[in-house]
């Protein structure tokens, strides 16, 4: 019985951790960097942090530059420092 409860608790903890990577961000879409190292980012209005968008072509975000949009995204990699923003994958554009 203890093994069963421990296993159920471990599975529930794992499921809780997998959902923690989702973000809801509202901000302005912009192009950063210089050619050939340019990339698309969204700047969060509340925290003023930049998030590099990995799958910008999936939602056609290149044409929505300078617009304020609200997105639901999954955090792929945390920010390393200046010039290396956090990397996200867009799940939904609201």
Instruction: Establish if 63 belongs to a structural domain.
Output: yes
Instruction: Establish if 59 belongs to a structural domain.
Output: yes
Counting the structural domains of the chain, the total is 1
Instruction: Establish if 75 belongs to a structural domain.
Output: yes
Contact criterion met (CB below 8 Å) for 39 and 32: yes
Instruction: Establish if 10 belongs to a structural domain.
Output: no
- CATH number of the domain enclosing 38: 2.40.50
Beta strand spans in 1-94 (E): 22-32, 39-44, 50-53, 68-77, 86-93
Residue corresponding to tokens 């996200």: 88
pLDDT at 21 over 90: no
What's the whole-model pTM score? Answer: 0.75
Instruction: Establish if 9 belongs to a structural domain.
Output: no
pLDDT at 81 over 90: no
Instruction: Establish if 7 belongs to a structural domain.
Output: no
**Which H, E and C letters describe 74-90, residue by residue?**
EEEECCCECCECEEEEE
**Residues 27-79: pLDDT tens digits?**
999 999 998 989 999 999 999 999 999 998 889 999 999 999 999 999 999 99
């Amino acid at each position: 019985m203890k093994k069963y409860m421990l296993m159920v608790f471990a599975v529930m903890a794992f499921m809780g951790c997998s959902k923690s990577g989702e973000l809801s961000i509202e901000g302005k879409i912009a192009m950063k960097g210089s050619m050939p190292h340019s990339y698309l980012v969204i700047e969060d209005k509340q925290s003023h942090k930049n998030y590099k968008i990995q799958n910008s072509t999936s939602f056609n975000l290149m044409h929505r530059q300078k617009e304020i949009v609200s997105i639901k995204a999954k955090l792929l990699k945390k920010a390393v420092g200046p010039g290396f923003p956090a990397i996200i994958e867009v799940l939904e554009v609201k």
